[in-house]
Structure 1
């Protein structure tokens, strides 16, 4: 594909360079979501229900998982900084899709959109499964049928909120973020006073090599950072996206990093390792341990329920927004670009929620260890767009016509390389089974790409037959 001198497809608009700020903003003021709502969207999508169950999943690997979380946090901050730079340069909907397309061309852009779309609806299923565990703290519905129906309700109620319009999504994100954040901070801070060193257990509880345990624990921990790219997907709905996309990404990740590390250390130190590995509601169990039972555990379970609904609401938005951006560019079926009168991409919302519903049914009726499998597959499909986004930033720094220089160039290169290496590590940590299934699911996207291009009458380069000699019929 022919490319311009700045590495863009012909005709693509040149976005502002990093640091251009408001002067280079595209469509400043057009969006309906301000910086508080954008930060809330990032925090709300990152802090879903995963953090409420993750300490139990990580406990099986030992306290090496705390080191894994710290390393993953560094990688997530590097990614947020990369997204901030890319968002300033390309302040358009689509996030990782738009960045890969801008740097590498049409098909890599499509593949990133496809991978992220897989992540969004697969990840929503994992959130719904954890949500059911905490809802069952009150309901006690143990049958797979009842739990499936409960999970489906948790998926389709946020879908209705999304169908009602973008402004309602922003309000819902702010409200649910506030409601869930205060009690999580309470556990992260107050819980540190109840930590007992004997509860932490062994450094490596797997019986194998500690590096393998570190990598797998890191891959599981990455899932709770899914959402760092949230505002990049809906950049055109953010006020002054060239400025606020980067700020919201970095602020959101820093807030979540502090809370994640403190709360994980607190939970590990409050509940003995053996008991923690079997806990279905570790935060509620920690509150009960701290205060001897009573209503505390119920309050924390209620917060997890609110958190889950908020996260599903935000991810349902992203399930529709990414393919809509690709459909507008002719790389996804046109149906995904359809919007309702309220501005909701209704087709993407309905299709994404339906696919998530199938994964939920599979979790309860089709497999064992469903939650962990869904988590690792979701991690694999998450990392692919992250890796390409870091590569796009590195590509621009090395080949861009408007180069940065001096200390700023060194810093941006270091951040991009850190994010790139982080992507390699997380792909390895997802494991062979998740990588195999995830890659097969990505390959399914290629026939979709071919079909979409054919529907548009775009069949790629063709050979041109030589012209017949002068004076002779062709």
Structure 2
């Protein structure tokens, strides 16, 4: 892109002013846990029931991949501590277009994921109200569930921090119980056939793994909002690893409890499986109602966290001219208000379409958001491998082999999850992804750029690369 000037330092404020953040390690960890543990985990056992207990094998494999990604993001954040996460890593390693593809894909993940979260959230709200599951009222409840978190975000960072801390504590109480004491009530007769899908074991594991991956989407949220975190090079990586490990523990054991306390047939049609499990353990409805309340609180916390991410990702790209400038500015309350509003509008539209067009609403939206999330995961792992292969000579041999192994596992895991997403998700996801190409052309033409990419300062340090270095 000869003829274009190097952007001023102020165009990338979060990359060079990472210390201005408002979140400490505790809040950053709560953001990870709050974003990862939404209502997805509370609805997941029903989505996995069609595969049978073999899906627990998939869950274990997904957990290994998620931890590999968490360690990869820990290393990446130490290298580039600014807001934007996967977008920054891809752009710095592979150039503007790769950065745009990641920002665009992850942006879709964020608002499409909010649609999936709110669909599961509605299932637990309807334990108390609209028990007949009237579709019109379900849509109304879903829209309320999307716009209240948007209002919390628009009120400023202090409100976000308070909500994340409170909801993280409240959501963990029932999940920890189900993942520990609940195991004592398991009955083997409830599990049904090990592979209930009727297909091959590998096919069932791959397909179940793609659904299970949705439970871990959000492990990167601290890196996406790193510009809001104090000492991000230290705190973001720790928050990512600690949050992922905590979620993995309650996920696998909690899902095992549900599989073993609710009959397979009942689980297939359940809209609130953890509620059904609690009722089966204690009898009556009070325990299930308590779990439903926890799921509602959990979903609200996740939606608050993800609504912030909906604004953060395009804001980071807009600072580099790879998204419209309207996304770049903070409001008077210090939040990316334009991105938050646009993302919530899109999530609302997808929710309405899902309820009116898809037979299996939650699973369909989950697979779409998984597909668009896997692409940034894949590029992030690839960026880490690229840097290790080109700059790894400065790392001790033992540590280099370890880091390459972890990044390779994260990369292979991303390909595996992509393959398991299914034809429908690939169709819709690829269509949404490719819609970004004309959008990118419009942005590039609007800046009057052509030819080769100009030499830019390193995103983290502001230092120009030496002759012969990448870009």
TM-score (norm 1): 0.91
How far is 1:250 from its partner? 0.1
How big is each residue's C-alpha offset from its partner over 1:171-206, in whole Å with a ceiling of 9 and x where there is no partner? 111111111111110111111010112211111101
Distance in 1 separating the partners of 2:218 and 2:355: 25
How big is each residue's C-alpha offset from its partner over 1:378-434, in whole Å with a ceiling of 9 and x where there is no partner? 111010000000000000000127631221001101100000000010000001221
Alignment correspondent of 2:250 = 259
Alignment correspondent of 2:338 = 347
User: Is 1:322 the equivalent of 2:313?
Assistant: yes
Tell whether the 8 Å contact from 2:315 to 2:328 is kept in structure 1 after alignment: yes
**1:301-380 residue pairs with structure 2 within 5 A?**
301-380=292-371
User: Is 1:66 the equivalent of 2:52?
Assistant: no
- Aligned-residue RMSD, C-alpha: 1.8
How big is each residue's C-alpha offset from its partner over 1:343-371, in whole Å with a ceiling of 9 and x where there is no partner? 11111011000000001101111222122
* Partner SS state of residue 137, structure 1: coil
How far is 1:291 from its partner? 0.6
* Structure 1 residue ranges without an equivalent (≥5): 3-8, 14-24, 463-474
Where relative contact order (Cα < 8 A, 6+ residues apart) is larger, the structure is 2
User: Is 1:101 the equivalent of 2:94?
Assistant: no
Alignment correspondent of 1:116 = 106
Name which of 267, 281, 286 aligns with 1:276.
267
Distance in 1 separating the partners of 2:142 and 2:236: 32
Alignment size in residue pairs: 445
TM-score (norm 2): 0.92
**1:22-61 residue pairs with structure 2 within 5 A?**
27=17, 29-61=19-51
How big is each residue's C-alpha offset from its partner over 1:252-280, in whole Å with a ceiling of 9 and x where there is no partner? 00000000011011111111212211111
Larger CA Rg, structure 1 vs 2? 1
Distance in 2 separating the partners of 1:179 and 1:461: 52
Tell whether the 8 Å contact from 2:81 to 2:232 is kept in structure 1 after alignment: yes
* Partner SS state of residue 338, structure 1: coil
**1:146-165 residue pairs with structure 2 within 5 A?**
146-165=137-156
Distance in 2 separating the partners of 1:206 and 1:262: 22
Tell whether the 8 Å contact from 1:26 to 1:240 is kept in structure 2 after alignment: no
Q: Report the CA distance shift for 1:402/1:172 in structure 2 as closer, same or farther (over 3 A).
A: farther
How far is 1:460 from its partner? 3.4
Alignment correspondent of 1:22 = none
Tell whether the 8 Å contact from 2:125 to 2:292 is kept in structure 1 after alignment: yes
Alignment correspondent of 1:5 = none
* Partner SS state of residue 332, structure 1: coil
How far is 1:26 from its partner? 6.2
Distance in 2 separating the partners of 1:335 and 1:349: 12
Distance in 2 separating the partners of 1:12 and 1:253: 36
**1:97-246 residue pairs with structure 2 within 5 A?**
97-141=87-131, 142-246=133-237
